[in-house]
Amino acid sequence: MRGNPEEHELLAPGSLPAVLELLATQPGEWTPIAGGTELMVAHAAGRLASRKLVSLWGIRELRFIEHTDTEFVLGAGTTFSDLRAHAELAEELPLLTRSASWIGAIANQSRATIGGNLVNGSPAADFSPALLAYDAEVEMISTRGTRRVPYSNFHNGYKRNVLVPDELLLAVHVPRRFRRHIQYIRKVGTRRAMAISKVALAGTALLTDGLVSEIRLGAASLAPFPARLHRTEAAIQGCVVTRETMQAARTALLEEAKPIDDIRSTAEYRRQVGANLLEEFLRRLQAENAP
């Protein structure tokens, strides 16, 4: 244990308004900590820069799964165990449930939160590709009120996002319009469990009269942050899925992807496997279309 607990202050105001008040009066001073599955690792490694932390654990206003006719609303304090246990979510938005099962293992899932995963903003974040493929929106809150942005605009750099110093992630909104979409997700890690993603791809597509009328691709580790593959989508949008489409899509992905070499994998591997996953998805679309 390289961190010194005596050098870090941790407050637990216990309610959302109290936390927001703290952030408003001392913006940028207090680092929110939810389940701690990221920050406590840094603490043990002696790398926890934040001296002042505010606990979000146990704040009911952040931990919920609700839905309206048009969307699911997932509180930022919702754990991945909560997500996995929700039957309706699993039925309607299965990519979210699958993603939740990828976080570490059971003991990590009971503490890791949606908010933590998104705000930590690793390019390899497990929950992000599905949210991108589902066209999700994130809702942020401060004492000044709430605002929403498309999740695909939430990250604006390596481990950077659009939250301003007095803001917290409040919830993720996922539209309920994917029942007829063909859905795909696959993560490639170092092993079957407890694995950081080398590359992951989520895809949702709608076929209308044999043409791809909608396609969304969300990828991990093909950019400095989890991102949509817009140019690759453009190569598929409006097309019938043929061998030529697949080749064009593959080429587009290979060009659009900007992975890096790091301790876990190589850029070249990520790029190629990303393309292979895309091909897997497209073959599924092709099969759907077959008479």
Partner 1 sequence: MSTSPKTRIVGTSVPRKEGVDKLLGRARYVDDIEREGMWHGATVRSTISRGFIRSIEFDRRIEWSEFTVVTAADIPGKNHIQLIVADQPCLADGKVNHCDEAIVLIAHPDKHKLREAVAAVQVEYEALPPIFTMEESERQDVIVWGSDNLLKSFLLEKGDVAAAWAGAAHIVEGEYRTGAQEHLYIENNGMIAEYDAGRGVTVWGSLQCPFYVHKSLMAVFELPEDKVRVIQTETGGAFGGKEDYPSTLGAHAALLAMKSRHPVKMVYDRMEDLAATTKRHPSRVRHKTALDRDGKLLAMDIDLCTDGGAYSTLSSTVLSRATLHSPGPYVCPNVRVRSRSWATNTVPYGAFRGFGAPQACFAIERHMDVIAAAIGMDPVELRRRNFLHDGDTTATEQVMREPVILDHLLDRALKESDWYARRARFARENMTSPVKRGMGIAAFYHGSGFTGSGERYLSSLAGVDVLEGKVRVLVSSTEFGQGTNTVLTQIAAETLGLAYDDVAMAPPDTGMVPNSGPTVASRTSMVVGKLIERACLQLIETLKAQAGLGENFSRGEFFAACEKLRAAQHEAKSLVRYEAPPHIFWDDQKYRGEAYPAYAWAIHVAQVAVDTATYSAEVEEFWSVQEAGRVLNPVLAGGQIEGGIAQGIGYALYEKVLLQNGHMANNQMTNYIMPTAEDVPPIHVSFEEIPFRHGGFGAKGIGELPHDGPAPAILNAIMDATGVSFTTIPLLPEDLYAEMRLRRQVEEMAAV
Partner 2 sequence: MSVGRSTIRFTVNGEERVVCAPAMKRLLDVLREDLRLTGTKEGCGEGECGSCSVRMNGELVNSCLVPVLQAEGARIETVEGLAADGLPNRLQQAFLACGGAQCGICTPGMLMAATHLLKKNARPTMAEIREGLAGNLCRCTGFVRIFESVVAAGAEADPETAAHAR
> Which residues sit at the interface with partner 2, rule CB under 8 A?
1, 3, 5-12, 33, 35-37, 40-41, 43-45, 51, 53, 55, 57-58, 81, 104-108, 110-111, 192-194
Among 27, 280, 287, 288, binds partner 1 (CB under 8 A): 280
Q: Which of residues 83-112 bind partner 1 (CB under 8 A)?
A: 105
> Using CB under 8 A as the criterion, what x/- string covers residues 6-25 for binding partner 1?
x-------------------
Q: Which of residues 175-214 bind partner 1 (CB under 8 A)?
A: 188, 190-196
Among 25, 26, 45, 258, binds partner 1 (CB under 8 A): 45
Could you tell me which residues are beta bridge partners of residue 101? Answer: none
SS3 291: coil
Q: How many CB atoms lie within 10 A of CB 67?
A: 17
The answer to whether 189 and 177 have CB atoms below 8 angstroms apart is no
Least separation, in Å, of the C-beta of 5 and partner 1?
8
Q: How many CB atoms lie within 10 A of CB 44?
A: 12
Least separation, in Å, of the C-beta of 137 and partner 1?
31
Binding segment (CB under 8 A) for partner 1, from list 1-9, 126-134, 157-165, 234-242 = 1-9
Q: Assess 1 for contact with partner 1 (CB under 8 A).
A: yes
Least separation, in Å, of the C-beta of 21 and partner 2?
19
- DSSP conformation class of 86: -
Q: How many CB atoms lie within 10 A of CB 158?
A: 12
Distant-in-sequence contacts of 41-45, Cβ < 8 A, 24+ apart:
42/3, 43/3, 43/5, 43/8, 44/1, 44/2, 44/3, 45/2, 45/3
- DSSP conformation class of 113: B
The answer to whether 75 and 174 have CB atoms below 8 angstroms apart is no
Q: Which residues bind partner 1 (CB under 8 A)?
A: 1-2, 4-6, 44-46, 105, 188, 190-196, 263-266, 268-269, 272-273, 276-277, 279-280
